[in-house]
Amino acid sequence: MIHTKDKIIEAAERLFAEQGYASTSLRQIIAEAAVNLASVHYHFGSKERLLDDLVHRKADPVNQARLSLLDASESKAAGRPLSVEQILNAFLLPTAKAASADPTFVRLMGRIHAEGLMPAIVQKHFLPTAQRFVSALRRALPDLPEAEFLWRVHFMMGAMSYTMCGTPIFPAAIEDFHSRMEKLVRFLSAGFRAPAGNGEEKPA
Amino acid sequence: MIHTKDKIIEAAERLFAEQGYASTSLRQIIAEAAVNLASVHYHFGSKERLLDDLVHRKADPVNQARLSLLDASESKAAGRPLSVEQILNAFLLPTAKAASADPTFVRLMGRIHAEGLMPAIVQKHFLPTAQRFVSALRRALPDLPEAEFLWRVHFMMGAMSYTMCGTPIFPAAIEDFHSRMEKLVRFLSAGFRAPAGNGEEKPA
DNA sequence: GTCTATACTGAGATAGAC
DNA sequence: GTCTATCTCAGTATAGAC
């Protein structure tokens, strides 16, 4: 038998990914893990910190892989701006890789974004990485007016988080995660390269 | 002084839109509305049915406007398929209109989608309308392989719901909702028209 | 028909014994 | 480190006043 802490983490990850954070009670988790209720608070402090710990363990390595890929692409480009596709691939390929190794994990990540209001966790674990990618995208799209660019980043984040959740309302083909990410890259890079509107700022 | 039911609805709409459904307690709502706790269950039956009633009152007229615009475009086209832009505009212009008349409403709609698991409400109030628009999009994009098409619809729904929530993580220009919707249409229609991948089915 | 008072169950959190 | 007991607050249900 393994440590109490690990049993809690294991049960929590599965239940959070399946049912969402809010809908999962600590009492459900401790029943699955066969541990005592108070042990959750002893090891993690609170339900929210349990989620934070989970995200820390699972998302940080993926974010590291994302940044490594981006670094590699950038040093290969030797100062020239990357293509939108290269940047999006650097972000999404580690996601696909993690998803095939551990399918529950990506659903959990999607839920964390989609379920909305845990801004603290999102900021803490995703913002630093996200900012590097946004900067790279900005360099790849120098002619896009700023407001247009920022909203497109926003649209992208919506599409990504929704997609990672994994359960489409319309029954789409259940296929390997990798080709889903490829579809997403095609869709998003075309969106980013769309001509800007002429309303507010004009492209250079 | 107005009816208890209206006071509850008013308070609930604002609080749900601001804090989300799960994070808003009935006791908060009744405090704001200055009514008794049990009156919520007398008039609505449960917290979930209160939300359902709210969505019914607010979203159904918008969905009607969406379908009217789509109908108008389709009869003007006289059998020819609509453009992706026309279809997306028919969906998003009523959203923008509703948003300028009642800013809290659209945030609530965004939350309902984003906050994830209230599939019953989403199905009941959005699926019928959504299906008409998906069919129209399918006719506008006859050459897109089915899997590619369905996932692009999925990406679109993610971008839309995320956008309606209204609070971007990256500080984007706060501007009128209408030009935000125009940006979204440009982004999404370019995404829909991106070349498909060559992996699975070939375009006609 | 409406509204109030109150009680019930289950959630997260905490204190203290072991 | 772990467990029991308990606290507060959530959503819900009902009995009864007007």
Which residue's C-alpha is at the least distance from the C1' of C6? Answer: B38
In a domain, A39, yes or no: no
In a domain, B67, yes or no: yes
Under 8 Å between Cβ of B155 and B194: no
**Is the CB of B115 less than 8 angstroms away from the CB of A115?**
yes
The CATH number that applies at residue B136 is 1.10.357.10
- How far is Cα A6 from Cα A139, in angstroms, rounded to an integer? 43
The enclosing H or E element of B41 equals: helix B37-43
Per-residue model confidence as pLDDT tens digits over A2-36 = 789 999 999 999 999 888 888 899 999 999 999 99
- In this structure, is the CB of residue B41 within 7 Å of any atom belonging to strand D? yes
Question: Chain B contact for A150, CB < 8 A?
Answer: yes
Q: Which of A117, A130, A124, A140 is nearest to A192 (CA)?
A: A140
Per-residue model confidence as pLDDT tens digits over B81-110 = 999 999 999 999 999 999 888 888 888 887
In a domain, A116, yes or no: yes
B202 pLDDT more than 50: no
∠ at Cα B149 (B147, B150), nearest 5°? Answer: 65
In a domain, A68, yes or no: yes
- For residue B179, list chain A residues with Cβ-Cβ distance below 8 A: 197, 199-200
B163 pLDDT more than 90: no
In a domain, A173, yes or no: yes
Question: Chain A contact for B124, CB < 8 A?
Answer: no
3-state DSSP call for residue B145? Answer: coil
Per the structure, the count of domains in chain B is 1
Name the A residues in 26-65 with CB < 8 Å from any B CB: none
Per-residue model confidence as pLDDT tens digits over B103-146 = 888 888 877 776 665 667 877 888 899 999 999 999 999 999 99
In a domain, B200, yes or no: no
Prediction pTM value: 0.90
Per-residue model confidence as pLDDT tens digits over B33-69 = 999 999 999 999 999 999 999 999 999 999 999 999 9
3-state DSSP call for residue B141? Answer: coil
- For residue A143, what are its two tokens? 């002619």
Tell me which residues of chain A have a pLDDT lower than 50: 201-204
In a domain, A175, yes or no: yes
- How far is Cα A150 from Cα A157, in angstroms, rounded to an integer? 11
In our burial notation (b when 16+ CB lie closer than 10 A, e otherwise), range A12-42 reads: bbbbbbeebbbebebeebbebbebeeeebee
**Is the CB of B154 less than 8 angstroms away from the CB of A148?**
no
**Res. B155 pLDDT band, cuts 50 70 90:** very high
Per-residue model confidence as pLDDT tens digits over B1-23 = 578 999 999 999 999 988 888 88
- How far is Cα B148 from Cα A187, in angstroms, rounded to an integer? 9
pLDDT computed for residue A196 by the predictor: 96
In a domain, B127, yes or no: yes
- How far is Cα B77 from Cα B12, in angstroms, rounded to an integer? 42
3-state DSSP call for residue A45? Answer: coil
DSSP B1: -
**Is the CB of B162 less than 8 angstroms away from the CB of A180?**
no
Footprint of strand C on the protein (CB under 7 A): A 24-28, 37-38, 41, 45-48; B 3-5, 35-39, 42-43
**Is the CB of A158 less than 8 angstroms away from the CB of B162?**
yes
DSSP A35: -
Pick the residue with more confidence: B68 or B158? B68
Domain span holding position B119: 56-193
3-state DSSP call for residue B164? Answer: helix
- In this structure, is the CB of residue A156 within 7 Å of any atom belonging to strand D? no
**Is the CB of B153 less than 8 angstroms away from the CB of A163?**
no
